[in-house]
Chains A and B, each alone.
Chain A
Amino acid sequence: MIELDNIAYSYGGGELLSEVNLSIQPGDFYFLTGPSGAGKTTFMKLCYGELTPTSGQARLFGQDVRSMSRDDHAVTRRRIGVVHQDCQFLDHLPLADNVALPLAVSGRDDLENVSNLKELLGWVGLKERAKALPPELSGGERQRAALARAVIMSPDIILADEPTGNVDWEMSQRLLQLLLELNRMGKTVMIATHDMNLIRAAKSKVQARVLRIANRHVQLAGADL
Chain B
Amino acid sequence: MKTFLADIMAIFVGDAQADRIVPPTGFTARLTLFASGAMAFLAVFALALSLASGRLAQRWGQELAQSSTLRISAPVEQLAAQTAAALKVLETTPGVAEARALTAEEQRALLAPWFGPDLPVENLPIPQLISIEETSGGYDAAGLRLRLQAEVPGAILDDHTRWRKPLQQAASRLRLLGFVSIILIAAVTGTIITLAANAALAANARLIAVLRLVGAQDSYIAKAFVRRFTLRALSGAAVGTVVGLIAVLILPSAQDQGGFLTGLGFQGASWLWLVLLPILAAVVAFLATGAAARRTLSELR
Q: Which residues of A contact B (CB under 8 A)?
A: 50, 70-71, 73-78, 82, 84, 88-90, 92-93, 97, 101-102, 104-107, 109, 149, 153
Q: Digitize B79-109: 1 where CB-to-A-CB distance is under 8 Å, 0 elsewhere.
A: 0000000000000000000000000000000
Task: Tell me the complex Cα distance, A150–B23, Å.
Answer: 22
- Knowing A50-B301, A90-B207, A105-B220, the reply to whether A77 touches B214 (Cβ < 8 A) is yes
User: Known contacts A89-B210, A97-B17, A105-B216; can you find 13 more A-B pairs with CB under 8 A?
Assistant: A50-B213, A50-B301, A73-B212, A74-B216, A75-B215, A76-B215, A77-B213, A82-B213, A88-B210, A90-B210, A97-B20, A104-B17, A153-B215
B210 touches A70 (CB 8 A): no
Cβ–Cβ < 8 Å partners of A82 in chain B: 213
Q: Digitize B275-301: 1 where CB-to-A-CB distance is under 8 Å, 0 elsewhere.
A: 000000000000000000000011001
Task: Tell me the complex Cα distance, A71–B216, Å.
Answer: 8
B18, CB-defined interface residue at 8 Å: yes
Q: Digitize B189-217: 1 where CB-to-A-CB distance is under 8 Å, 0 elsewhere.
A: 00000000000000000010111111111
Q: Measured between C-beta atoms, what is the minimum distance from A55 to chain B in Å?
A: 19
A102 touches B218 (CB 8 A): no
Cβ–Cβ < 8 Å partners of B17 in chain A: 97, 104, 109
Q: Measured between C-beta atoms, what is the minimum distance from B60 to chain A in Å?
A: 59
User: Can you list 7 A-B pairs, Cβ within 8 angstroms, ordered by A?
Assistant: A73-B212, A74-B212, A74-B216, A88-B210, A90-B207, A104-B18, A105-B215
Q: Which residue of chain A lies nearest to B221 when distances are taken between CB atoms in the complex?
A: A105
The residue from B18, B210, B215 contacting A74, defined by CB atoms under 8 A apart? B215
Task: Tell me the complex Cα distance, A88–B212, Å.
Answer: 11
B180, CB-defined interface residue at 8 Å: no
Task: Tell me the complex Cα distance, A90–B211, Å.
Answer: 9
B64, CB-defined interface residue at 8 Å: no
**What count of chain B residues pass the 8 Å CB interface test?**
20
B21, CB-defined interface residue at 8 Å: yes
- Knowing A50-B301, A90-B207, A105-B220, the reply to whether A149 touches B214 (Cβ < 8 A) is yes
Q: Chain B CB within 10 Å — which of A71, A74, A92, A149 has the most?
A: A74
Task: Tell me the complex Cα distance, A93–B18, Å.
Answer: 11
B217 touches A71 (CB 8 A): yes
Task: Tell me the complex Cα distance, A104–B20, Å.
Answer: 11
Q: Which residue of chain B lies nearest to A82 when distances are taken between CB atoms in the complex?
A: B213
B160-208: which residues lie under 8 A (CB-CB) from chain A?
Answer: 207
What 10 pairs across the A-B complex have the smallest Cβ distances?
A105-B216, A78-B215, A77-B215, A102-B214, A74-B217, A92-B23, A104-B17, A71-B217, A88-B210, A74-B215
A90 touches B212 (CB 8 A): no
B213 touches A84 (CB 8 A): yes
Cβ–Cβ < 8 Å partners of A50 in chain B: 213, 301
Q: Measured between C-beta atoms, what is the minimum distance from A225 to chain B in Å?
A: 31
Q: Measured between C-beta atoms, what is the minimum distance from A74 to chain B in Å?
A: 4
Task: Tell me the complex Cα distance, A92–B215, Å.
Answer: 19
Cβ–Cβ < 8 Å partners of A77 in chain B: 212-215
Task: Tell me the complex Cα distance, A105–B17, Å.
Answer: 9
Task: Tell me the complex Cα distance, A89–B214, Å.
Answer: 10
- Knowing A50-B301, A105-B220, the reply to whether A93 touches B21 (Cβ < 8 A) is yes
Cβ–Cβ < 8 Å partners of A101 in chain B: 21, 210-211, 214
Task: Tell me the complex Cα distance, A90–B207, Å.
Answer: 7
A93 touches B20 (CB 8 A): yes
Cβ–Cβ < 8 Å partners of A106 in chain B: 215-216
Cβ–Cβ < 8 Å partners of A153 in chain B: 215
Cβ–Cβ < 8 Å partners of B301 in chain A: 50
Task: Tell me the complex Cα distance, A89–B213, Å.
Answer: 11
B217-241: which residues lie under 8 A (CB-CB) from chain A?
Answer: 217-218, 220
Q: Digitize B1-43: 1 where CB-to-A-CB distance is under 8 Å, 0 elsewhere.
A: 0000000000000000110110100000000000000000000
Q: Which residue of chain A lies nearest to B204 when distances are taken between CB atoms in the complex?
A: A90
- Knowing A50-B301, A89-B210, A90-B210, the reply to whether A102 touches B20 (Cβ < 8 A) is no
Task: Tell me the complex Cα distance, A84–B214, Å.
Answer: 11
Q: Measured between C-beta atoms, what is the minimum distance from B243 to chain A in Å?
A: 33
Cβ–Cβ < 8 Å partners of B18 in chain A: 104
The residue from B20, B214, B218 contacting A70, defined by CB atoms under 8 A apart? B218
B211 touches A105 (CB 8 A): yes
Q: Which residue of chain B lies nearest to A70 when distances are taken between CB atoms in the complex?
A: B218
Cβ–Cβ < 8 Å partners of A70 in chain B: 217-218, 297-298
Q: Measured between C-beta atoms, what is the minimum distance from B187 to chain A in Å?
A: 30
Cβ–Cβ < 8 Å partners of B209 in chain A: 88
Cβ–Cβ < 8 Å partners of B207 in chain A: 90
Cβ–Cβ < 8 Å partners of A149 in chain B: 214
Cβ–Cβ < 8 Å partners of B210 in chain A: 88-90, 101
Q: Measured between C-beta atoms, what is the minimum distance from B204 to chain A in Å?
A: 10
Q: Which residue of chain A lies nearest to B212 when distances are taken between CB atoms in the complex?
A: A74
Task: Tell me the complex Cα distance, A82–B301, Å.
Answer: 17
